[in-house]
């Protein structure tokens, strides 16, 4: 762990074959950290949550933007029609932050979303995935800090 990093919770072992910790993140508020070495190309965790339609997700997104108090959303695109909202029934994968040079990648298998390791991840490293927001949606500034940062979470 990095100095001064505070771990506040553990992800339940039934959700991952690896020890995963939730703690303060230098990228954004909270993040998920490897509690042990994760070899390359391993299934790390499933992204779960409430399955909603694209249109319902747009309505939720607008409501969140308007409300001002809860400015966070945890959507993961399953297909053209379906979105998984990780804010309800999430494994903790919804807390994994975006990076333009991530150590995880997403794979969709039979209606499920899984995160796999792109490379060997050392204990203490923060897990990250490229959110790949559409270039046509609201622009989100990226603070991933990677030398490969493209400046926004959106694709160019």
Residue 142 touches Zn ion, criterion: CB under 5 A: yes
Nearest-10 Cα torsion for 124, 43, 155, 80: -150
Residue 149 touches Zn ion, criterion: CB under 5 A: yes
51 vs 132, beta carbon nearer Zn ion: 132
CA distance 156 to 152: 8
Using the rule CB under 5 A, give the single segment among 30-38, 68-76, 86-94, 134-142 that binds Zn ion. Answer: 134-142
Q: How far, in whole angstroms, is CA 116 from its chain's centroid?
A: 12
Position among 100, 104, 127, 129 found at the interface with Zn ion (CB under 5 A): 100
CA distance 107 to 139: 24
Residue 58 touches Zn ion, criterion: CB under 5 A: no
Residue 96 touches Zn ion, criterion: CB under 5 A: no
Residue 129 touches Zn ion, criterion: CB under 5 A: no
Residue 72, SS3 per DSSP:
coil
Q: Beta strand pairing status for 82-85 and 104-109?
A: unpaired
CB of 150 to Zn ion, least distance (A): 6
Interacting residue ranges for Zn ion, rule: CB under 5 A? 100, 142, 144, 149
């Amino acid at each position: 762990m990095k100095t001064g990093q505070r771990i506040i919770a553990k992800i339940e072992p039934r959700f991952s074959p690896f020890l995963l910790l939730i703690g303060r993140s230098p990228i954004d508020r909270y993040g998920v950290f490897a509690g042990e070495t994760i070899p390359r190309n391993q299934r790390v965790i499933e992204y779960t949550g409430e399955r909603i339609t694209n249109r319902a997700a747009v309505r939720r997104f607008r409501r969140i933007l308007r409300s001002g108090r809860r400015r966070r959303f945890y959507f993961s695109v399953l297909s053209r029609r379906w979105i998984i909202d990780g804010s309800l029934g999430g494994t903790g994968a919804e807390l994994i932050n975006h990076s333009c040079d991530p150590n995880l990648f997403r794979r969709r298998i039979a209606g499920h979303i899984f995160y796999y390791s792109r490379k060997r991840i050392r204990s203490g490293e923060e897990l990250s995935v490229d959110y790949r927001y559409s270039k046509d949606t609201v622009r989100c500034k990226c603070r991933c800090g990677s030398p490969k940062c493209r400046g926004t979470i959106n694709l160019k």
